[in-house]
Structures are given as structure tokens and as C-alpha cells.
A = this chain, B = another copy of it.
Amino acid sequence: MRGVVMHAPGDVRVEDRPDPRIEQPTDAIIKVSAACVCGSDLWPYRGIEKLAGATPMGHEYVGIVQEVGPEVTTIRPGQFVVGSFWASDNTCEICRAGYQSGCVHRVLMGTVGTQAQYARIPLADGTLVATSDVPPADLIPSYLAASDVLGTGWFAAVAAEAGPGKTVAVVGDGAVGLLGVLAAKQLGAERIIAMSRHEPRQELAREFGATDIVTERGDEGIARIKDLTGGLGAHSVVEAVGTQESMMQAIHSTRHGGHVGFVGVTHDVALPGLELFGALVHLHGGPAPVRRFLPDLMEMIGDRAINPGRVFDLDLPLDRAAEGYQAMDERRAVKTLLRP
């Protein structure tokens, strides 16, 4: 089969890779309907995260089940399925508490590489959620978004306790930040402040429910959020970048007693203890337990109540994956969809 392999920073190729096969009795093999490039794929692409040699890429996916292992009981061939970037058993104590990304048997899908024609999904019963019918083609991007960026933005908004009566600020205008705006809106937030200096992204933020746009960053951005919230700061702040500046911007934009939901994969970040102590905020985040939200998100997508697929502004055949990486790296594209 064809699949994306990163050989070095900036060096992404589509190559022949061995077809995946059932390795564990709990595995499924899916034919990938669509995959995509994640903001987190840009860390190794930019050389910020080390690569351990040539690496199959991709951890977001939707597809049609081809084959299941002998212990798979709820998922069956022919179903259209969505899964998270963490495979999880969905039965352990951590999963049952809603933290499937911390499942005691979790498998990171990045080790599988879903930017390919086929993919092996570990722990299929726990990981995959099937639709009742194969959905129409125009819904594929939205289901694909649910696999990571929507689920992650949703988790961030839930972690930030976005809800009725709340003012929510969103730091980061990538796909996750934009879908954090969508999530805050769906969760009933009263006011949603998107922090973005890119006009097309501001427009999408407004479409998703942003009521205010703040273009300033760092201390100026914090001051603007304070201005907009009677000097107090936002009740809820979504952090969807993962840098020192964005984390501190999020923490200091939050009122005392408020909530920060952080989902940007942190790199070279060290939170100063005394500033965190003085901020008196709630901080919750990490790898999103997307599986917790998948059934509800997929239902909303099927009902066309939300359209998270709007974040894909570049749609390429798998063989042109390198172009998709480059466009995202240069911020010409928010998110690239790849069709095998």
C-alpha cells in the first residue's frame, strides 16, 4: 500500500509500505477513507521534535472496516468508523472515568501511521465508533475532524469549563483552537473571544461562534482580555498552541478561580511555580480523551448540527502529502485532508 513516511525534518515522502495485518486478536484493519496532517506533525517536520529514523506518519483517520481479529465483538467489516489518536480498551478504570487517552492499555496511533491506504487499529472494540450507515461523502471531513482536532478542541473547552454564562477566550487559531471556539459555542458559552491575527481564521472563528476577536498577543493580549471582562479575566481559557508564551497568556487571561484547558503539545515549556500559585486558576489538559466525546460528536455531525470539517482548507490526494505538510508549515493552510 501507499503511505506517508517522514525521513527527516522537511522531508516527507509517500512510499510503498507493507499492508497492515491483524497482529492482535483485538485488532481491526480499516481502509482509510480520509486522513490528515496534524499540527503536532509539524513539530518533527520543523525539527523541534527528534525523529527516530524514517517514521510512518498520521494518527487521524476515518475508514471502512475490512477485517477484524477473532476477539473483536462489536465492530464488523463494512462499517464506517472513527477512532481517536489513542487506541484504548474503553473498559479499564481510567477509561470508565472518561480518560481514554490515559487507558492502561493505550496504544498511540502515531506508531501505526494512518496517512496511508490501510491502517491497523488496536483495541478495535474500545477504540472505534461506527456510524449506523456509511455517511455521504460531504460529511467525511467532519467525521475526520472528530478523530482528533474536534475531539481535542472539545476536550479543551470542557476542561476550561466553558458553558452558559461564561466568557471563554481561545489562545491559538489553528484547527484545534478554532474547534475550541465551536465547542465553547455548542457548550453554551455566552461570549467567546478568539485570539487571532489571521483574517481568514478570524472569519472561521466567527462562523464557529466567536463573538470577539483579539489580535494582540502576550501581555498586550492579556490586557485586552482583561479590558473585555471588567478587569477580571475570562472564566474559561482554551490553550491550543503549546509554547511558553501561549501557556502564560492563557493562565494570565483567566480570572482567579477560573479554568484553563490546555491541549497544545507543550515544547520547552516550564511553568513558574509562583506565577501559577498567584494565578489561582484551575489547569487541566494533556492528550485529549477524544473517545469520551466521539459518540456525541458523531451524532451532531450526522445531524449536520455542526460542521467541523470546515477547518480543512486543503484537500489533496495522499500522494501529494508533502505539499500538504508544506502548506501547513507555511501557514498557507489551516489543515490538510489527505485522500488515499
Q: Which residues does A use to contact B, with CB under 8 Å?
A: 93-94, 97-99, 101-102, 104, 230-232, 242, 244, 247, 255-257, 262, 265-274, 276-287, 289
Given contacts A265-B277, A266-B274, A273-B247, contact A102 B257 (CB under 8 A): yes
Complex Cα distance A285/B256, Å?
Answer: 10
> With a CB–CB cut-off of 8 A, which chain B residues contact A278?
286-287
Q: Which of A242, A270, A272 has the most CB of B within 10 A?
A: A270
Say yes or no: A284 contacts B282, CB within 8 Å. yes
User: In angstroms, how far is the closest chain B Cβ from the Cβ of A151?
Assistant: 14
Per the bound structure, the CA–CA distance linking A265 and B269 in Å amounts to 21
Chain B nearest Cβ from A278, distance in angstroms: 6
B257 touching A266 by the CB < 8 A rule? no
Closest chain B residue to A235, Cβ basis:
B97
Q: What's the Cα separation between A98 and B256 when bound, in Å?
A: 10
A280-B101, A281-B284 in contact; A267/B274 too (CB < 8 A)? Answer: yes
Are the C-beta atoms of B283 and A284 separated by less than 8 Å? Answer: yes
Q: How far is B99's CA from A271's CA once the two chains are assembled, in angstroms?
A: 22
Q: Which residue of B lies closest to A247 (CB)?
A: B273
Alpha-carbon distance between A84 and B261 when the two chains are bound, in angstroms: 30
Question: By the criterion CB–CB under 8 Å, are B104 and A280 in contact?
Answer: no
| CB-based contact B273/A268 at 8 Å | yes
Output the nearest chain B residue to A255 by Cβ-Cβ distance.
Answer: B94
Chain B residue with Cβ nearest A268: B273
**Pick the contact of A232 from B104, B266, B273, B283 — CB < 8 Å?**
B104
Shortest A136–chain B CB gap in Å is 35
Task: Look across to chain B and name the residue whose beta carbon is closest to the beta carbon of A101.
Answer: B280
Q: Give CA–CA (A337, B306) in the complex, Å.
A: 61
Q: Which residues of B contact A256 (CB under 8 A)?
A: 94, 99, 101-102, 286
CB of A99 within 8 A of CB of B257, answer yes
CA–CA, A247 and B242, complex, Å: 21
Is the beta-carbon distance between A279 and B286 smaller than 8 angstroms?
yes
